[in-house]
């Protein structure tokens, strides 16, 4: 087998999925089942006070007994808020150590604030969290986050929720080459081929939400993503053929062809 090992724990799926933007919890549940994901992100938010006490809980759709829930810090714009959010998450989910850190810098682009991200990462690592960190595709930043003790580095492929795919494969390759922890593309994947390309580049996994939840048929797209990540991983392990620009090479034998009518005439 070819497990994805994060913070010492082995996972058989290299696809990590979010739980946001689905129509309802039933669709969330079906899509996540179809994706085959074992690690599932959740957000932490203030509870609605005084509203519908019988409101269903997300945790019924994605039970912690079945999935590794990965609490995130989406929406946090400072290291302090991110750290507080994950302390609450640890209490809420009964002490998971594995968390997804993201500290945003700008509500328009949702681009990460890497200075605050690094600050938060240092605090969280000190407090015993296993930090999977969302970051830009800057190879130096990725390395610094790894050196700060993060257990996985997760550069963006393009902006969160944009579905624009992998805009800078070269930076991702530098990050992968330099890293001694798993590198996962987090954000920007739009369709199955994007996920396959990320894996073919050598990413250890892919984390996505909108590409599945925003598809016309999210459950079918979840299944497509599962296959794309598996196919991309196998292609990476298999080692692709060398590209031979402008040089054709026939796949069939060049000898033993039947005589052509024109040859006979001559």
Partner 1 sequence: MITVTINGEARRFETALKVSRLLEQMALADKRIALERNGEIVPRSRFDQESVADGDRLEIVVAVGGG
Q: Least CB distance from residue 209 to partner 1, whole Å?
A: 3
The residue among 155, 212, 148 whose CA lies nearest residue 182 is 155
Concerning whether 227 is annotated as a catalytic residue, the answer is no
Q: Least CB distance from residue 72 to partner 1, whole Å?
A: 6
Of the two residues 49 and 266, which places its CB atom closer to partner 1 in the complex? 49
For the record, the structure tokens of 210 come out as 């909108």
> 66, 97, 100, 126: which is the annotated catalytic residue?
100
Of the two residues 60 and 263, which places its CB atom closer to partner 1 in the complex? 60
Q: Which residues contact 13 (CB under 8 A, 6 or more apart)?
A: 4, 35, 36, 37, 38, 39, 226, 229
Chain centroid offset of residue 74 CA? 14
Residue located via tokens 């150590």: 97
Q: Least CB distance from residue 163 to partner 1, whole Å?
A: 12
Q: Least CB distance from residue 39 to partner 1, whole Å?
A: 12
Strands (E), 136-258: 152-155, 184-186, 205-208
Q: Answer for the pair 178, 195: CB distance below 8 angstroms, yes or no.
A: no
The residue among 154, 144, 149, 104 whose CA lies nearest residue 130 is 149
According to DSSP, residue 66 is labeled T
Of the two residues 43 and 173, which places its CB atom closer to partner 1 in the complex? 43
Give the number of C-alpha atoms closer than 13 A to the C-alpha of residue 240, restricted to the C-beta side: 13
Contacts with partner 1 by CB under 8 A lie at: 18-22, 28, 41-47, 49-50, 53, 57-59, 69, 71-72, 74, 84, 87-89, 91-93, 160-161, 187, 207-210
Of the two residues 19 and 158, which places its CB atom closer to partner 1 in the complex? 19
Residue 64: how many other CB atoms lie within 10 Å: 13
Q: Least CB distance from residue 62 to partner 1, whole Å?
A: 9
Of the two residues 133 and 208, which places its CB atom closer to partner 1 in the complex? 208
- Residues serving a catalytic function are 100
């Amino acid at each position: 087998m070819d497990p994805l090992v994060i913070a010492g724990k082995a996972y058989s799926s290299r696809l990590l999925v979010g739980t946001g933007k689905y129509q309802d919890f039933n669709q969330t549940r079906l899509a996540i089942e179809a994706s085959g994901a074992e690690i599932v992100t959740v957000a932490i938010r203030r509870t609605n006070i005084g509203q519908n006490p019988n409101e269903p809980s997300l945790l019924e759709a994605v039970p912690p007994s079945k999935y590794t829930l990965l609490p995130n810090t989406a929406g946090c714009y400072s290291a302090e808020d991110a750290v507080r959010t994950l302390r609450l998450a640890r209490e809420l989910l009964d002490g998971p150590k594995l968390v997804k850190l993201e500290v945003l810098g700008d509500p328009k682009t949702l681009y990460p604030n890497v200075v605050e991200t690094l600050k938060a990462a240092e605090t969280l690592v000190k407090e015993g969290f296993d930090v999977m960190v969302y970051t830009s595709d800057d190879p130096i930043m990725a390395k610094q986050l790894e050196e700060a003790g993060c257990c996985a580095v997760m550069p963006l492929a393009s902006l969160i929720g944009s579905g624009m795919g992998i805009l800078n494969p070269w930076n991702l390759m530098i990050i992968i080459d330099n890293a001694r922890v798993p590198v996962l593309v987090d954000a920007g994947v739009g369709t199955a081929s994007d996920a396959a390309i990320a894996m073919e580049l050598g990413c250890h996994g892919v984390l996505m939400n909108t590409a599945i939840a925003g598809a016309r048929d999210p459950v079918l797209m979840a299944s497509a993503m599962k296959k794309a990540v598996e196919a991309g991983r196998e292609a990476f392990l298999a080692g692709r053929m060398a590209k031979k620009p402008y040089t054709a090479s026939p796949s069939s034998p060049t000898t033993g062809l039947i005589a052509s009518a024109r040859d006979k005439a001559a």
